[in-house]
């Protein structure tokens, strides 16, 4: 599919409710995504519990107040688009698939985020080596998670 095949002219449209906010056309989102790739950004792709696929790109700003990893952006995108909080599996990469060691590994903040999003995400599989098809679970990356007790009390 090419950009020209998508609906919309790439220009921001005024909202129907007149609040002045903009509704971005799909073609504009794709242009933005391509720009992010050109900047050598990390992308993350979680598969939600229902099998739907979502995406996110890392956001880095000069002041640091808006920095977010691709994994958290993708998780938030999944939640905002569908209300889902459970992830089956996820891959994160920059210019090539994960190849072992630290590549493909979520940072500590992202590990915590996915646990807090849904306790059952402890079983989500994270691809750490594409060639070997090796995955690791969130439980393995963050054993004895502090929030498990709070989840237990909330039931
Ligand atoms: Zn992270």
Question: CA-to-CA distance for 19 and 21, rounded, in angstroms?
Answer: 6
How many angstroms does the Cα of residue 72 sit away from the middle of ligand 1? Answer: 7
Span from the CA of 8 to the centroid of ligand 1 (angstroms): 33
Mean per-residue pLDDT pooled into runs of 10, the chain (155 residues): 39 46 52 58 90 88 79 95 96 88 92 96 95 95 92 87
- Could you tell me the distance, in angstroms and rounded to a whole number, from the CA of residue 9 to the centre of ligand 1? 34
Give residue 115 CA to ligand 1 midpoint distance, Å: 13
Whether the CB-CB separation of 78 and 87 falls below 8 Å is answered with yes
Q: What is the pLDDT of residue 123?
A: 97
Q: Cα(111) to centroid of ligand 1, in Å?
A: 7
Q: Look up the pTM and report it.
A: 0.73
Q: Rg of the chain's alpha carbons, rounded to an integer? A: 18
Please state, in angstroms and rounded to a whole number, the distance separating the CA atoms of residues 106 and 2. 31
C-alpha 130 – ligand 1 centre gap (Å): 19
For ligand 1, the distance from its centroid to the CA atom of residue 45, given in whole angstroms, is 13
The pLDDT value recorded for residue 94 is 83
CB under 5 Å of ion ligand 1: residues: 69, 107, 110
The structure tokens 């807090």 sit at 116
């Amino acid at each position: 599919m090419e950009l020209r095949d998508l609906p919309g002219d790439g220009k921001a449209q005024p909202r129907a409710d007149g609040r002045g906010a903009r509704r971005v056309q799909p073609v504009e989102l794709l242009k933005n995504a391509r720009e992010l790739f050109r900047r050598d950004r990390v992308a993350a792709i979680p598969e939600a519990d229902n099998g739907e696929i979502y995406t996110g790109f890392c956001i880095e700003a000069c002041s640091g107040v808006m920095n977010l990893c691709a994994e958290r952006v993708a998780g938030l995108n999944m939640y905002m688009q569908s209300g889902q909080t459970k992830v089956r599996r996820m891959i994160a990469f920059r210019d090539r698939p994960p190849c072992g060691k630290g590549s493909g590994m979520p940072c500590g903040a992202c590990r915590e985020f996915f646990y807090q999003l849904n306790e059952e995400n402890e079983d989500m599989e994270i691809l750490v080596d594409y060639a070997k098809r090796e995955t690791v679970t969130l439980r393995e990356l963050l054993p004895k998670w502090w929030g498990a007790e709070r989840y237990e009390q909330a039931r």
